[in-house]
């Protein structure tokens, strides 16, 4: 009975439409007619009911579907495919999308009771084309116009929409800070060098080189089809290569996505980055890199200790650096055009260590260049925007690093209502005992943890600092001593 009802209702619809030769039936998501209304084991579905009317020309029909669903469902029914003329609808250009929006914007003005200037329409299209990567024009630009109108209609605060309102909406859709949406990054970049130097010490040459290439790429003179920048940081361990990537992401107010490449040493580990091929376990879950960038399209991607990764992973990076995109094993293309790609490496550090006994050596030795050339193929090096070289830390630099470590500790303890102060002797002790030219600043971190943080933790949990207090840290007989009030 129910199948008969479906056939009768559909035949009545066909009869009504064909009664007037000017009628055209439009079926959105036309792939859904295949199998619609069919019972278990039955062959009569909506597509088969439509076929006679389509074949004799009495029914004029237009259907729409996506390429994926066309291939998956529609194309398999060759009899149905033969009754339609396939028309490919490509994404319009930015200029075409602007004209489309001009034609439909009056509908949104009436509905939301707001006004859109021509500048708003142009920026909505241009900015959505640049920052919204998971949808197509003109749909994403229309969504922006619709959302910004709905927002101010609800708030009832303004009637004239401006470009700043569009930037705010796009920042929410694309998960990008609104100040990064604006074409002008001058306010962010003008103090970039100073902000980096306040957190990273002894690497002035590297910071100057990094800020120079970042400013160039953010000026709008870069190729829009590539990443914002692709950089290789090389130098000894513990000198600030990873830290500078963290500070850069903080200064630019964007996310940091860090990947430890020592976890990707085997050939099969490439599947963890971009997803498993179809037929393998977890193929529908996506890869760590592609999923992270898809969720955070505007970010700093840090590939730590890249020399430890399997060589096949370098081939993936070539695609990212050259075309600003990466296709995973599910044939989904992930956009990397708003990503700053940073790779760190200790390449050449051993050779430099031999030449650095007793003084700080600049990373310009021929041995170091040979080591970098040996590890990274010419086509990989050629796609980098810059290879930025880091120096060994000097004893002079340790003073600033000790002060930074103390400031971080003070900030942590202030939440527990604890004030600390270090005597000059204590600071000198940390500078001398925490300095190791081979391992950079990491020995200082371990020293502060063992000699200061661990004893303080005991006092905070079980001793005199349960309810806060003041602590003076001094050195006597080459040992850290605490005076607690």
Q: Is residue 478 part of a domain?
A: yes
Are 51 and 192 members of one domain? no
- Classify residue 301: in a domain, yes or no: yes
pTM of full prediction above 0.75:
no
Same domain, 383 and 399: no
Instruction: Burial-class residue 147 by CB neighbours within 10 Å (0-12, 13-18, 19+).
Output: middle
**pLDDT at residue 362, as a whole number:** 47
The helix (H) or strand (E) run that includes residue 63 is: strand 61-64
Are both 202 and 234 inside the same structural domain?
yes
Whether residue 164 is found in the same domain as residue 199: no
Residue-wise pLDDT for 403-415, tens only, equals 888 888 888 888 8
Whether 175 and 193 map to the same domain: the answer is: no
Give the residue with greater pLDDT, 145 vs 44: 145
pLDDT tens-place string over residues 421-445: 888 898 888 888 888 877 778 888 8
Is the residue at 89 inside a domain? Answer: no
Give percent of the chain with pLDDT exceeding 70.
88
Which of 12-16, 278-282, 351-355, 372-376 comes out lowest in average pLDDT?
351-355
So what's the pLDDT on residue 179?
A: 59
Model pLDDT, residue 354: 54
- Residue-level pLDDT at 351: 56
Task: Count Cβ atoms below 10 Å from residue 285 Cβ, excluding itself.
Answer: 11
Residue 199 lies inside a defined structural domain of this protein: yes
pLDDT for 283 beyond 80: no
Per-residue pLDDT tens digits for 333-388? 888 888 899 999 987 655 555 555 444 444 445 666 777 888 888 899 898 888 88
Average pLDDT on 103-114 reads 92
Asked whether residue 87 is assigned to any structural domain, the reply reads no
Count of domains observed in the chain: 4
In a domain, 451, yes or no: yes
Measuring CA to CA, how many Å separate 288 from each of 174, 252, 336, 360, 451? 19, 23, 14, 38, 38
The whole-angstrom separation of Cα 79 and Cα 172 is: 46
- Cβ proximity of 388 and 234 under 8 Å: yes
User: At 24, is the pLDDT very low, low, confident or very high (cuts 50, 70, 90)?
Assistant: very high
Q: Is residue 113 one of the residues assigned to a domain?
A: yes
Q: Which two tokens stand for residue 371?
A: 């080591």
Instruction: Kindly indicate the confidence band of residue 205, based on its pLDDT and cuts at 50, 70 and 90.
Output: confident
Helix axes 2-18, 46-56, angle to 10 degrees: 30
**Same domain membership, residue 38 and residue 15:** yes
Tens-digit pLDDT profile for residues 160-180: 888 888 888 888 887 776 656
Domain that holds residue 264: 186-389
What is the per-residue pLDDT across 50-70, written as a single tens digit (0 to 9) for each? Answer: 999 998 889 999 999 988 888
Q: What are residue 255's DSSP bridge partners?
A: 299
Q: What percent of the chain has pLDDT over 90?
A: 19
Residue 203 is assigned to a structural domain of this protein: yes
**Local structure of 435: helix, strand or coil:** coil
Residues 364 and 295 in one domain: yes
Between 202 and 105, the more confident residue is 105
pLDDT tens digits for range 186-200: 667 788 888 888 888
Boundary (domain end) residue, out of 348, 364, 389: 389
Which of 56-65, 212-221, 246-255, 257-266 is predicted least confidently?
212-221
Q: At 447, list the tokens.
A: 């020293």
What CATH number corresponds to the domain at position 480?
1.10.8.60
Domain shared by 120 and 244, yes or no: no
Quick one: 306 and 238 in the same domain? yes
Task: Show which of 22, 53, 82 is a domain's final residue.
Answer: 82
Quote the mean pLDDT of the chain. 84
Residue 154: exposure state from Cβ atoms within 10 A (0-12, 13-18, ≥19): exposed
355 and 373 co-located in one domain: yes
Domain shared by 337 and 223, yes or no? yes
Domain limit, last residue, from 82, 113, 135 = 82
Same domain assignment for residues 333 and 450: no
- Please report, for the domain that includes residue 35, its CATH number: 3.40.50.300
């Amino acid at each position: 009975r129910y199948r008969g009802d479906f056939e009768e209702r559909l035949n009545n619809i066909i009869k009504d439409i064909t009664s007037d030769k000017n009628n055209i039936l439009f079926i959105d998501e036309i792939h859904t007619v295949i199998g619609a209304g069919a019972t278990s084991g039955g062959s009569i579905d909506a597509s088969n009911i439509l076929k006679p009317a389509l074949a004799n020309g009495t029914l004029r029909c237009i259907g729409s579907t996506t390429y994926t669903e066309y291939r998956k469902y529609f194309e398999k029914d060759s009899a149905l495919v033969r009754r339609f003329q396939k028309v490919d609808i490509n994404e319009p250009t930015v200029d075409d999308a602007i004209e489309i929006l001009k034609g439909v914007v009056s509908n949104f003005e009436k509905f939301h009771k707001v006004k859109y200037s021509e500048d708003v329409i142009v920026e909505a299209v241009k900015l959505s084309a640049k920052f919204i990567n998971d949808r197509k024009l003109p749909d994403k630009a229309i969504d922006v116009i619709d959302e910004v109108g709905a927002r101010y209609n609800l708030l009832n605060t303004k009637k004239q929409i401006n470009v700043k309102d569009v930037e705010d909406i796009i920042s929410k859709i694309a998960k990008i800070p609104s100040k990064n949406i604006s074409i002008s990054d001058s306010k962010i970049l003008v103090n970039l060098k100073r902000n980096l130097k306040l957190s990273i010490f002894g690497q002035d040459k590297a910071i100057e080189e990094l800020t120079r290439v970042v400013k160039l790429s953010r000026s709008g003179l870069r190729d829009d089809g590539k990443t914002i920048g692709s950089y290789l940081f090389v130098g000894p361990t513990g000198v600030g290569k990873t830290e500078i990537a963290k500070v850069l992401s903080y200064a630019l107010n964007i996310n940091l996505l860090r990947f430890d490449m020592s976890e990707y040493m085997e050939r099969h580990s490439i599947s963890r980055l971009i997803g498993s091929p179809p037929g393998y376990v977890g193929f529908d879950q996506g890869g760590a890199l592609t999923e992270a960038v898809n969720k955070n399209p505007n970010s700093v991607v840090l590939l730590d200790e890249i020399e430890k990764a399997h060589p096949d992973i370098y081939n993936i990076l070539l695609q990212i650096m050259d075309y600003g995109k990466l296709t995973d094993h599910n044939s989904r293309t992930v956009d990397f055009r708003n990503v700053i790609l940073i790779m760190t490496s200790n390449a050449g550090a051993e050779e430099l260590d031999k030449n650095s006994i007793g003084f700080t050596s600049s990373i310009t030795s021929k041995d170091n260049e040979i080591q970098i050339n040996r590890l990274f193929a010419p086509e990989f090096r050629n796609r980098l925007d810059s290879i930025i070289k880091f120096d060994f830390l000097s004893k002079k630099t340790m003073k600033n690093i000790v002060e930074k470590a103390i400031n971080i500790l003070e900030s942590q303890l202030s939440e527990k209502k604890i004030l600390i102060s270090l005597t000059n002797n204590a600071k000198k002790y940390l500078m001398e005992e925490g300095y190791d030219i081979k391992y950079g600043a990491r020995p200082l971190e371990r020293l502060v943890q063992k000699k200061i943080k661990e004893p303080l933790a005991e006092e905070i949990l079980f001793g005199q600092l349960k309810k806060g207090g003041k602590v003076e840290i001094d050195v006597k007989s080459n040992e850290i001593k605490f005076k607690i009030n």
